[in-house]
Chains A and B, each alone.
Chain A
Amino acid sequence: MSREDFVREVEAAIGELKASYRGNASESDLYEATLFVLCVDAAKRAGGRVLLTHDGRNAIQQLSFRRSPGNLWLGEFTYALVNFPSTSKQLEVHLGAYVASGSSKVAHECDVAILDHEEAERSRQGQVHPRARGLIAVIEAKLYATSPSLGVGRGFLGLAQELGPKRCSLVFPSGGSDNILALIAKRDSQAYDRLLPGRDSIGTMREHLVKAISNWKHVR
């Protein structure tokens, strides 16, 4: 294809995409919601039974998610409550929650958080943020169509340091640059590029989450 033809194709493509594009905020919401789905799927594969609920008792008829991270004790938003036949432990999967770091006492935004149910319930009843000690896994999602910058990686490592590096994963749909992948490669946290439903990376990340959940189940 000649350059001039390519430019014309790109201009046409931009117009077509724009017709179904809801804006970066909404597209980010949708992408993060698929990561909620991934976490629920991992919980099922770890042997869990899932209730999608607003109140911990009744099943919802419609998914209703936070647009921005919020306080667990406010609003009626969908979360997944998961119980396991082999243990009395339960976990919850939340889209958009604040979690408090034990070291700095600062509450950090978590795009998707898998929490111990007892910690989440304590948060609701005490109207305090859940503590990082109750985190099983957290996902930081970046809707980037090119590689996120090194600054994103540095920010993520800061979050991981606060919440527990092994619990934290950075994900994005684009291919990662050598820079950002190298930055995170030697750390306890994970980075998953090209993370989209249907791609191999989803299976890899799901296995990582299944392992994290299984390990948590077995902790006494």
Chain B
Amino acid sequence: MAVEDEQYGRIMSRLRADLPVLAEQLDAEVRSGRLISEESLFSGSSYQDRKARLAESKLPKLAKSDIGVLPYTGSERLDLVRDALLTLAETMSSSRKELLRFTDEFGVSPVIEFSDFESASEPDRIDLNIEAERAQRARNTMAHRFGSGGQVSER
């Protein structure tokens, strides 16, 4: 477990520095834990243990309305990181590509602007031709690195 924590910690340090919002989202997800499915709640040794403790304490039995949560394992946390990076890469690429398609459909400039009326700062100008290609390359590289949900081994 210590090695897994160290590896996860290393990744999260890097994420906090380079992609802080993504790091926050991952932190929040890991903190909240993984919901136990209804099927899992009522099966296996964990269920027997819970059942026994409740019976011994003369407390109400587990019911379908109960919600159980388990902490993410080391492997699961790494899977979360992988999935989040893949999702971000896909979002970046598909957003730019779709907007480029739209500008082409309506015959408008592929450079789009975002600004606030109340703000004196320069608009944020995005050249979709350049950005779509760049984001697609990043997405392809990501997909190549991690495959389609390839599993991380236990070692």
Contacts and interface: CB of A to CB of B under 8 A. Distances in A.
Interface of A: 1-4, 6-7, 9-22, 24, 26-27, 29-31, 33-34, 37, 40, 50, 52, 60-68, 70-71, 74-75, 77, 143-147, 149-150, 173-175, 177-179, 196-198
Nearest to B37: A178
Shortest 3 CB-CB distances between A and B: which pairs?
Answer: A75-B117, A197-B98, A145-B84
A22 B126 contact: yes
Interface residues of B, number: 69
A75 B120 CA distance: 12
B113 A145 contact: no
A145 B80 CA distance: 9
Contacts of B137: 20
B82 A10 contact: yes
Which secondary structure dominates chain B's binding surface?
A: helix
Contacts of A64: 112-115, 123
A71 B74 CA distance: 47
B7 interface: yes
Interface stretch (B39-47, B51-59, B139-147): B139-147
Contacts, number: 191
Contact of A34 (B4, B32, B98): B98
A145 B95 contact: no
B116 to A, nearest CB: 5
B112 A34 contact: no
A61 B153 contact: no
A2 B19 contact: no
A26 B114 contact: yes
A30 B85 contact: no
Interface in B69-118: 74, 78, 80-85, 87-92, 94-99, 102-103, 106, 108-109, 111-118
A146 B134 CA distance: 23
B64 interface: no
Contacts of B22: 145
B35 interface: yes
Contacts of B49: none
A197 B97 contact: yes
A62 B1 CA distance: 54
A165 B23 CA distance: 32
A55 B145 CA distance: 47
A34 B99 contact: yes
B138 A67 contact: no
A101 to B, nearest CB: 23
A7 B7 contact: yes
B62 interface: no
B87 A197 contact: no
Given A16-B141, A30-B95, A145-B22, A3 B7 contact: yes
Interface string B1-31: 0011001001100110011011001101100
